[in-house]
Amino acid sequence: MTIPEKIEKPHVAFLPSPGMGHITPLFEFAKRLVIHHGFHVSFFVITTGASAAQNELFRPENLPADFTAVEIPPVENISSFFTDDMKLLTQLCIMVRESLKHLPSLLMEKRPKALIIDLFCTDAFEICEKLSIPVYSFFTASTILMAFSLYLPTLDREVEGEFVDLPEPIQTPGCTPICPHDILDQVKDRKNDEYKWYLLNVSRLPLAAGIFVNSWDDLEPVSLKALRENLFFQKIPLPPVYTIGPLIKQDEVVTEKDAEILAWLDDQPPDSVLVVVFGSGGTLTSEQLSELAWGLEMSQQR
């Protein structure tokens, strides 16, 4: 009787840009591939002088088997690339650009079958093309933002001046119109380097072999239908869009205050609570907070 050879697990690599808000979604996706689908994962981490939360996340005892965290060597004198007035996204993109100079050697050493990146690591497309490694993008924000971002290069060519000064809502193909003042902060000032970096990264999205989104069809039916069927996105052409949501952080420590909030939520009638999420960097002015409070009051939601 012949003993069958050991089946080799599929090996993929992940590459998030720095910061817990970028690392966590890809980390959760990677864990699920390992635990539920039998993958081996190499998770590349750009070294930035990590926070305590990041150090805790990558402690060996907190990682499943077949999940390997790989530190990309730090960039020497990275602060010399920055200026006092440089905004955060510009700093992040420069840090990624300089750090990815180490990526070719790491990929040749690890030899993954594919690389999964976030929005701000698109320099990896050129690197992986030379190594014949397919690259997938994980767009972790809403699909309406993804649709707008894919439409942004067209807006950039066709619109003069600032988008916030447009007299009418911005009509992303197949999607709900967006009020100019509600667009992403990074695209409100086209003269700033943040805008140029954002435009560069989103313009590369069609180079992906596929795009994962943390959503599902019942949550965002209009924008997902547009991305898959609208002629504008077909002509780009847009690669396949895969819905993999809901993908949430499962190992969060529940504090006493968290437990109190969860207990309150459990006591509310079904479909009666409106949850507003600002993301890891969301901030409001006092005026905006008052507007939000009045809006919630008028909505009659808890």
Overall number of domains in the chain: 2
Written as tens digits, the pLDDT of the chain (302 aa) is: 444 456 788 999 999 998 888 899 999 999 999 999 999 999 999 877 666 777 778 888 888 899 999 999 888 888 888 888 899 899 999 999 999 999 999 999 999 999 999 999 999 999 999 999 999 999 999 999 999 999 999 999 999 999 999 999 999 999 999 999 999 989 999 999 999 999 999 999 999 999 999 999 999 999 999 999 999 999 999 999 999 988 887 766 678 888 898 899 999 888 888 777 766 566 677 888 888 888 878 777 66
Please check whether residue 56 lies inside any domain of the structure. Answer: yes
Q: Do 118 and 155 fall within a single domain?
A: yes
Please, which residues bridge with residue 115 across strands? 13, 135
Q: What is the pLDDT of residue 1?
A: 43
Phi, psi (rounded to 5 degrees) for 111:
55, 55
Q: Do 79 and 214 fall within a single domain?
A: yes
Q: Do 57 and 197 fall within a single domain?
A: yes
Residue position matching structure tokens 């069609």:
206
Q: Do 184 and 289 fall within a single domain?
A: no
Please check whether residue 2 lies inside any domain of the structure. Answer: no
Please check whether residue 83 lies inside any domain of the structure. Answer: yes
Q: Do 86 and 129 fall within a single domain?
A: yes
Q: Do 159 and 209 fall within a single domain?
A: yes
Please check whether residue 4 lies inside any domain of the structure. Answer: no
Q: Do 158 and 263 fall within a single domain?
A: no
Q: Do 165 and 39 fall within a single domain?
A: yes
Q: Across the beta sheet with 241-243, what order do the strands follow?
A: 67-72, 40-46, 11-15, 114-117, 135-139, 210-213, 241-243
Q: Do 140 and 265 fall within a single domain?
A: no
Please check whether residue 1 lies inside any domain of the structure. Answer: no
Q: Do 212 and 291 fall within a single domain?
A: no
SS3 135: strand
Q: What is the pLDDT of residue 51?
A: 67
State how far the Cα of 227 lies from the Cα of 239, in Å rounded to an integer: 10
Q: Do 87 and 184 fall within a single domain?
A: yes
Catalytic residues, by residue number, are: 22, 118
Q: What is the full DSSP assignment across 14-64?
A: EEPPSSHHHHHHHHHHHHHHHHHH--EEEEEEE-SS--HHHHHHT-GGGS-
Please check whether residue 141 lies inside any domain of the structure. Answer: yes
Q: Do 125 and 223 fall within a single domain?
A: yes
Please check whether residue 251 lies inside any domain of the structure. Answer: no
CB 92 within 8 A of CB 19: yes
Task: Look at strands 40-46 and 67-72 and give their pairing.
Answer: parallel
State how far the Cα of 76 lies from the Cα of 86, in Å rounded to an integer: 19
State how far the Cα of 184 lies from the Cα of 254, in Å rounded to an integer: 31
CATH number for the domain spanning 208: value is 3.40.50.2000
Range of the domain at 185: 11-243
Q: What is the pLDDT of residue 98?
A: 93
Identify the helix (H) or strand (E) that includes residue 88. helix 88-99
SS3 9: coil
139, HSE (Cβ side, Cα atoms, 13 Å): 28
